[in-house]
Amino acid sequence: MYGRAQRWPVTLAVTICLTLGSGALAQNMPGDVNDLMVWYKADAGVEESDGVPATQGGTVGFWRDQSGNNLHATIADPTNAPTLETNPTLGNVPVVQWGGSGGTGFSVPGASLAQGQESTYLVVFESVNETSNRRFINFTGTAGAFRNYSKGYPGGGTADPPSVAAPFDGTRAYHGAIPINDGVPHLGALRSTQGNVDQFVNGVLDTLTLWYDPVGAGEAWELEAVDSLLIGGAPAGRYVGDIAELIIYSRALSDTELTNLSANYFEPRYDFPAAGDFNKDGAVNDMDFEIQGMNFFEPGGFAQGDMTGDGFVDLLDWIELRPLLSATGGLSAAVPEPGGIALLILGGQMLIVVRRRAQPMRCLKIGRRQ
Ligand SMILES: [Ca+2]
Ligand SMILES: [Ca+2]
């Protein structure tokens, strides 16, 4: 949820009750929320060149802005354009896909934020682990920048979480803590305000760690103007992954606005899986437990039971899954096979050891379609 230490389902119910009780209209579409600046989505306005619709598997050289502001995105280098593809993990929706070869991505002439102007970025994406410095959203000015790096860029030394930087003076940068698993779609929301930056991954407030601060931690700072928006790759090579949708508001949206957009617009459009629902059948139960067990101590992604995003299925993933099973009664609904029971016991025993040695694990709580 777009508040502190909350989750989507609980707050969603509260939001709906309040909305019905007050008679206010829910904000169902991005255009219903004021201060929409740019809106790109892969199921509309995706063109090979201006006025020529892109074909499935074909290149995308022009991405038509749906905000009404006519801030269309154009590929600076047509020979290295991304392609229009279909993403099965997002629900077989169209996506713009980058393969990581050279090129500069889309540029958006005219998009800008003034000095001191707050902003909110919403992006539906699926990325691939990539340790190069690839900025899939890059909004820069002479004194500051907003950037969202590909997963894996080591930055301050952490190879797993994505990194974000905000249009601060001197461009401070942060690491997130929520894993971005390969092969799993995410809704990222970043709210940049005068004095703070909040990042949400699938509705959960991330814990951001400052890893780059050329000005010096603790001193006053302010948002700098940005006037160069690049999508999908700049400056050191292109993004590796898919973008289904990108929306930027020239204002910091409220928690309620973010919740409404997520529940009423993004969640119905995209097939975001719940944490631990490896087979994406809408439940976290013994079937997911068995999937993880079958792939134990093996390389694998989310579909194989990896919850930490490190591309390997092991006890740390079991630690993440276990409370979700307990919460849903997943293991009481069916009796696990003997191998699963052995794993359960082993996991419980090892859990104690791991917890004594390791930092407390943070469970990934992902909001669900209602
Ligand atoms: Ca499942
Ligand atoms: Ca793992």
> Quick check: helix, strand or coil at residue 211?
strand
Count helices and strands (H / E) in the chain: 6, 21
- Inform me whether the pLDDT recorded for 118 exceeds 80: yes
Quote the ligand 1 centre to 56 CA distance (angstroms). Answer: 31
* Among candidate residues 168, 272, 186, the one with its CA nearest the CA of residue 223: 168
Query: Domain coordinates of the chain in residue numbers?
Result: 8-269, 286-357
Quote the ligand 2 centre to 316 CA distance (angstroms). Answer: 6
The ligand placed nearest to the CA atom of residue 361 is 2
Quote the ligand 1 centre to 276 CA distance (angstroms). Answer: 7
Q: Does domain 8-269 have CATH number 2.60.120.200?
A: yes
> Quick check: helix, strand or coil at residue 340?
helix
The ligand placed nearest to the CA atom of residue 315 is 2
The ligand placed nearest to the CA atom of residue 303 is 1
pLDDT tens digits, residue range 204-217?
888 887 777 766 66
The confidence score (pLDDT) of residue 129 equals: 62
> Six-digit token pair at 125?
């994406």
- Inform me whether the pLDDT recorded for 72 exceeds 90: yes
The confidence score (pLDDT) of residue 68 equals: 96
Tokens 């050329």 belong to 214
Q: From CA 281, how far away is CA 160, in angstroms rounded? A: 27
**Amino acid letter, 227:** D
Residue 239 has φ and ψ, to the nearest 5°, of -55, 155
Q: Which residues of 137-173 are buried (b: 16+ CB within 10 A; e: fewer)?
A: bbbbbebbbbbbbbbbbebeebebbbbbbbbbbebbb
pLDDT tens digits, residue range 19-48?
333 334 556 799 999 999 999 999 999 999
Quote the ligand 1 centre to 284 CA distance (angstroms). Answer: 5
The ligand placed nearest to the CA atom of residue 316 is 2
DSSP class of 26: P
Tokens 């359960």 belong to 344
The confidence score (pLDDT) of residue 357 equals: 37
Quote the ligand 1 centre to 270 CA distance (angstroms). Answer: 17
**Amino acid letter, 90:** L
Quote the ligand 2 centre to 291 CA distance (angstroms). Answer: 13
> Quick check: helix, strand or coil at residue 357?
helix
Quote the ligand 1 centre to 340 CA distance (angstroms). Answer: 16
Quote the ligand 2 centre to 350 CA distance (angstroms). Answer: 15
Quote the ligand 2 centre to 311 CA distance (angstroms). Answer: 6
- pTM for the full predicted model: 0.73
Q: Which of 92-106, 169-183, 188-202 has the highest mean pLDDT?
A: 188-202
The confidence score (pLDDT) of residue 8 equals: 39
Q: What is the mean pLDDT of the chain?
A: 75
The ligand placed nearest to the CA atom of residue 312 is 2
Quote the ligand 1 centre to 274 CA distance (angstroms). Answer: 9
> Six-digit token pair at 314?
């092991």
